[in-house]
Chains A and B, each alone.
Chain A
Amino acid sequence: MSELKINDFVIRFANVNGTGSASANALFTKAIFKMGVPATPKNIFPSNIQGLPTWYEVRISEKGYLGRREGIDFIVSVNPQSMARDVKSVRKGGYFLYDSTKPLYPDLIRDDINYIGIPLMQLSNENYTDPRQRQLFKNIIYVGALAALFEIEFEVLESLLAVQFKGKEKLIEPNIKALKLGVDYVRENFEYPLELRVERRDLIGDRIMMDGNSACALGAIYGGATVAAWYPITPSTSVVDAFTKYAQKLRACSEGGKWNVAIVQAEDELAAIGMVIGANWNGARSFTATSGPGLSLMNEFLGLAYFAEIPCVLIDVQRTGPSTGMPTRTQQSDILEAAYAAHGDTKHVLLFPAGPRECFEMTAAAFDLAERLQTPVIVMTDLDLGMNEHITMPLKWDDNRRYDRGKVMSREQLETATARWGRYLDVDGDGIPYRTIPATHPTKGGFVTRGSSRDEYAAYTEDSAAYQRNMERLLKKFETAETLVPEPEITIVEGGSKIGAIYFGTSRYAAEEAAEMLAAEGVKLDTICVKAFPFGKSFRDFVDSHEKIFVIEQNRDAQFKSLMTIELGTDPGKLVSVLNYDGMPITADFIYKEIKSGQ
């Protein structure tokens, strides 16, 4: 037996899609979380309903690292389709748990890993009669086996099942029986526990476990969204699913059976964003959620919203492009697409949440920003963040917080205004004009909103000077946006460093872990976690004050780096890209190696 690895290992489950493995695997993760130990799961799933291989990887980290780590210590391989691949993926000295109902093919035998054969199918068939149950409980049996092997507290599993099957109590007993079948088989046939072990700790505190899409949905509820229009697309679908679920709980109106919300499944993404723009134009907070292909379709409308100055909120859960790409894999590859969506000179405000808590906060804030700035705000999350559960700080809301509806002329203001109101007139010098909501006043404030050029008073014009004035005001408004978006988080090492690292979104956890790994070897690295575009002064200062900067991002073309050189004129020579674009969440090991060799 090699050295003890308490609360520090990676386990991967190789399953067949659609066989009920997800809930069994989630039970495993949640049990570790409940034992006070940080655990970060990643779904690596196919674009398929049933039959193709799917993986679920959990990193257990006493130190609280939440990023992915390379090297698999233990694999539960119950999918014959992927076994050859799975057996190769285990690190030397690691473990391979398989269903021994049928013998392993000789070519799957490696002499440098350990095999744990459990007759899962046989145990399940002997104990359950219903074919569906036989399938499902095979999964629960291996969770029981893992509990024995890793010393996961059985009572924790029992209490989780009690919560999961509240209201369906008769399902608890057969589940517990399946867990015990696994536990007993291990106890009777293997030396246990392994050197890979889970030990109770108090490392979670009051943190919660949540997926980013649910957090965005809750942010939209708290942010006052009343109209959601969307078109189904992986990986953003569960944003609106969760919004619907929360709305059913939180948005019932006082008249019975009616709702303070309208959720429309549109015919396509064009219609979805069109509805969002129409609703916002008419004074309701409205959003859509989509992914890359949908964002491409929404370009035209985003140009309209930018130019006609209509607030709207879009949640882009990025996936691997281009085109259909890998729809169930993650990437940060919509950066340029989102920043400059639509033809002509356009720029959009982007927010980059790194965890569910920020998904919540930034989605809620996006509505304020969009209305304050009268422009689209795009929340740039990704599949890793959206569809995986993450340990995150509890969500908080200040009850004194009021929605910032921005510069909207009230009936009284229109009535008493002495100066002539101009929809596109920059009264305050910040580039943001005053808008009116339809039907505010019988005779004042009405105008035609259009995507064509107009003067300060919303009258159609093809006058070059008026067009140019308007375009320059829009630019000024974008400069104002710099001062309103969330500030980046900057970490300067003691004494400062000449080398910096820039990252955003889900690259954060791996980047921070890599920085620690490098620090342990004496490589000093200042870091900045970017939260928004446009970039503000603190970002520019960070860039200016470092000689060499690693830009960590999850796409092939260094899109964020391009954005920096376009917007700030940064010398590309001082920017070194660290690019992960294989569709898997970036790892600390990868960043560490890239920076180590590139410093």
Chain B
Amino acid sequence: MSYVRSKFRHPHLPKNDLGYTVDYYEGSLSTLCAGCGHDSISAAVAQACFELNIEPHKVAKMSGIGCSSKTPAYFLEHSHGFNSVHGRMPSVATGANLANRDLIYLGVSGDGDTASIGMGQFVHVIRRNLNMLYIVMNNGCYGLTKGQDSATADAGSINKSGHINPFESIDLASLAIELGATFVAQSFSGDKDQLVPLIKVAMAHRGFAFLNVVSPCVTFNNNVGSTKSYDYVRNHMEMTSTMDFVPISREITADYAEGSAQLVTMHDGSQICLRKLDHDWDPLNRISAINAVQIARSKGEVLTGLLYMEAASPDLHDYLKTCDAPLNSLTEKELCPGSAMLDEICNGLR
């Protein structure tokens, strides 16, 4: 990690429609390890918000506990953040969203925070189709407690201490599709060119958007034999094109070869042009999406890009029929029925 952030900015940094440069979307200096995949994802979030012309204060950054959950401090410094408790970010995000439906909710979690301690809440926030983007920075291990396998570590994967993980891994993307998530995508922290547009689309999606990003842990799980190492992921990403080694002090980028294109229309009429995925598979079809992910898994590959989406679906507010105004904007006038009504209620209790 660095100790000092350079204040220097290129004088001709481009501005977005709001007149902000991308550094307006940055946060405080990261305290994660140099070369950590998570920092690339933080940068991608900042870039995506910049490109989407989002007012940062309209974003609520939610997280649980772990390396990944620290990242909300490292992007969008003008946004409110909530670094809550381990595995419980979905419930806090749910309450926050219910209180004010007008904000953008960006949840950040890790594989421990989601696939182990937080599995219950992850599953249920999907069922409710909460309008939020849920990013898992997935490195297959517990970083802050020094490298234990997580539930997303692949069976047979070898960790830094040489231990071979005997347990089947939980595939979060398949699970999310299975549970009815209305937007599911997968990416790699080293592929900013894919990640930024995916984040943009996911933020624009109305309903629960899940983004599983393989994000190697340079300190504890970047060794030979790990299936969450930079080398492994780059070698096994479907449709990936570049294989160059990047030292940990440098930012990592990669590019995909372009595949066929498909246009998908979203709830508000905006369109997505899909180019990366397999010709045979329809991202609007859940069964087809699950098949594609599972086939890739069986080959030891990591399928990236948009996997599945349902362009228009009711979210939790629709299910609950909450009013259009944010609930946190209501006052005594709308909320308190007054003394006359109370007297009437009491009359019925005599």
Binding site for B on A (CB under 8 A): 204, 206-210, 218, 221-222, 224, 226-227, 229, 250-251, 253-255, 257-264, 266-268, 270-284, 286, 300-301, 304, 394-399, 402-403, 436-443, 446-452, 460
Contacts and interface: CB of A to CB of B under 8 A. Distances in A.
B156 to A, nearest CB: 32
A260 B95 contact: no
A442 B330 CA distance: 21
Contacts of A460: 73
B92 A275 contact: yes
B92 A446 contact: no
A262 B96 CA distance: 12
A227 B95 contact: yes
B121 A442 contact: no
Nearest to B58: A439
A449 B95 contact: no
A452 B320 CA distance: 34
Interface residues of B, number: 63
A257 B77 CA distance: 39
A432 B338 CA distance: 30
A399 B320 contact: no
Tell me whether chain A's interface is mostly helix, strand or loop, or mixed.
loop
Contacts of A258: 321-324
Nearest to A286: B95
Interface stretch (B1-9, B80-88, B270-278, B294-302): B80-88
Interface of B: 55-58, 60-62, 72-73, 77-85, 88, 90-100, 102-103, 120-121, 123-124, 128, 316-317, 320-325, 327-328, 330-332, 334-339, 341-343, 345-346, 349-350
Contact of A271 (B96, B121, B323, B327): B121
B349 A446 contact: no
| Top 7 closest pairs, chain A to chain B, by CB | A278-B95, A274-B91, A284-B99, A275-B95, A448-B81, A282-B99, A438-B80
A450 B57 contact: no
B342 A260 contact: no
A452 B86 CA distance: 12
Nearest to B317: A262
Contact of B345 (A218, A259, A398, A451): A218
Given A284-B327, A446-B78, A397 B338 contact: yes
A282 B120 contact: no
A446 B346 contact: no
A301 B95 CA distance: 13
A438 B103 CA distance: 9
Nearest to B61: A448
27 contacts: A210-B349, A226-B327, A226-B335, A258-B323, A262-B322, A262-B327, A264-B94, A264-B320, A267-B121, A271-B124, A274-B84, A278-B62, A278-B91, A278-B97, A278-B99, A279-B327, A282-B95, A284-B99, A286-B95, A398-B339, A402-B332, A438-B57, A439-B100, A440-B57, A447-B80, A448-B72, A448-B73
Nearest to B87: A270
B321 A257 contact: yes
Given A259-B321, A438-B60, A446-B78, A274 B335 contact: no
Given A274-B121, A276-B95, A226 B82 contact: no
Given A267-B120, A438-B57, A209 B327 contact: no
Contacts of A436: 80
B321 A278 contact: no
Contacts of B56: 442, 446
Contact of A304 (B85, B317, B332, B336): B85
Nearest to B31: A460
A274 B80 contact: no
